[in-house]
Amino acid sequence: MKKNFNTYLQPRKFLVIFSAVFFLSQILNLLRIINFSAIYHYLPHPFVLNKANTFMDFYNPLSWLINGTIYNLSLSVYPPLNFLFVKAISIMGLINVRGPILDAEILRNNSSFTSAILISAYCIFIFISIFISYNFKNKSIPLLMIGIGLLVSPPVLFALERGNLIILALLFLALYINEKINTTYKLIILAILINIKPYFAIFFLLYILKPKFLFLILFISFLIFVLSGILIENDFLLFFSNLLHFGGTDGNIIPQFDQLTFPSSIVIHSALAHFFPNSIYINLFINFLKYILYITILYSFVLVSLSKIIPNIYKIFSLVMIITNYSVMSGGYSFIFYTPFIFVFLNDPNLRKFGYYLLIVFIPLDFIKLFLAPYQGIPLASYLSIALFPNSTNHIVLPDRIIHLGTLLRPFFNFLLFEYFIYNYFYKRSINFKQL
């Protein structure tokens, strides 16, 4: 008699083996990055091509804040609350700059202590996020190994290298899905989430059938926005027009090869097809997958809004998967939003198998090179040293112009995970309920 696949996933032995392999793969990948950086003095794939751009997702907003040009000239799409965090880090980093800053890179290059504070804040926030989600009742060493592996996984390292404020959202997302947090606090947490990353506004769908809660979230969100805006800049209402303009670009403002550094959405494969201009079939296949994705998103929107039989944690996770799958603008660092759910799923017998599948997204595949794309542009000085990229020595040839396995597989697997989740935990559940 054949054993069901679930019987292989439930035993503790499988968890031990899986966690050991996952942990080891992350540590080896971290050592690979350290070794590469020590030899060539810049970061390898999957970090962005512009090696002079390290931490600039933090220092660009900091320079806008100092210059007073956040929304009027710099056209920022970060809500004002983000700049309070930027300001707090800069104060702790002992930055005391008055007057205009012409170059954010110069600001960064002269703010090593602030960068150290930023790194520390990242480590603390990601640790707290995992700590909140980790079930200490189990006292599971394998789960702890998975947690440590996640701390140094590619999505976390990518977000850290960018200095992106997404780490704030991860912390509040982990709080939002925590069972011990009561409803009132969750409404406040969601309002904060929306004021960090506006795409969390799709969580409004969870409250369509609860108009009082929806009104409260809207009110608290607007209150936080206005108060933080007043503290940051007089022109903060320009945020809305900036956001509309930015949303209309849908990734067009990002160079095509930069889109391919660490993608999360299959939409990005349109950029990959650019390197195969004569292949009609690649474009047709990508467009076909995109249509399936959009149809599934619409279907999940309906069930998230109206279904009373689907558990709330399923609804929340489906919305998070929509954030990572829908657009190139989310970026590969949006995968870190999966981390608090992983421990919830691994501790739930009904979702444990999916928890293992989810971890595959974090496996480092970026050391496997597939093919080379031609480099076009001027050499760029690495933030880590005075070394120029591309390297002119014989030791290496344009490493980050190479398409890596992670670039191809990670978005596609993320798409399959979304389709699998909606089919098994939304569609099947709805059908089974109707048959009862």
Question: Residue 196: CA atoms inside 13 Å, Cβ hemisphere, count?
Answer: 18
DSSP H helices, 139-210, are 141-151, 154-162, 166-176, 183-196
* Tokens 């994705």 found at: 293
The whole-number average pLDDT for the span 416-421 is: 96
Task: Indicate yes or no: pTM above 0.85.
Answer: yes
Is 89 in contact with 58 (CB distance < 8 Å)?
yes
31 pLDDT higher than 90: yes
Q: Which residue has the higher pLDDT, 103 or 432?
A: 103
Pick the range with the lowest mean pLDDT from 53-57, 94-98, 174-178, 239-243: 94-98
β 369-372/388-389 pair status: unpaired
Whole-angstrom CA distances from 128 to 27, 160, 177, 210, 435 are 20, 16, 14, 31, 43
SS3 355: helix
Question: 164-198 pLDDT, tens per residue?
Answer: 989 999 999 999 999 889 999 999 999 999 999 99
The whole-number average pLDDT for the span 326-331 is: 77
Question: 151-162 pLDDT, tens per residue?
Answer: 999 999 999 999
Question: 206-220 pLDDT, tens per residue?
Answer: 999 999 999 999 999
404 pLDDT higher than 80: no
**Taking the C-alpha atoms of 117, 119, 121 and 123 in order, what is their torsion angle to the nearest 10 degrees?**
-150
Maximum Cα–Cα distance across the chain: 76
For residue 433, what pLDDT band results from cuts at 50, 70 and 90? low
Whole-angstrom CA distances from 244 to 60, 249, 268 are 20, 9, 21
Whole-angstrom CA distances from 409 to 57, 132, 153 are 26, 30, 16
For residue 398, what pLDDT band results from cuts at 50, 70 and 90? very low
Q: Report the percentage of the chain scoring pLDDT > 70.
A: 80
